[in-house]
Amino acid sequence: QVQLVESGGGLVQAGDSLRLSCTSSGRTLSAYAMGWFRQAPGKEREFVAAISRSGGMPYYGDSVKGRFTISRDNSKNTVTLQMDSLKPEDTAVYYCAVDQTTRHINEVHARIAEYEFWGEGTTVTVSS
Q: How deeply is 97 buried, as exposed, middle or buried, from its count of CB atoms within 10 A (0-12, 13-18, 19+)?
A: buried
pLDDT digits (tens, 9 = 90+) for 47-66: 999 999 999 889 999 999 99
Q: State yes or no: pLDDT of 35 exceeds 90.
A: yes
Cα separation, 24 vs 125, in Å, equals: 24
The gap between the terminal CA atoms of the chain, to the nearest Å, is 39
For residue 112, CA distances in Å to 56, 108, 128 come to 20, 12, 29
Tell me the Cα Rg of the chain. 13
Q: How far is CA 40 from the centre of its chain?
A: 14
Average pLDDT rounded to a whole number, residues 22-38? 93
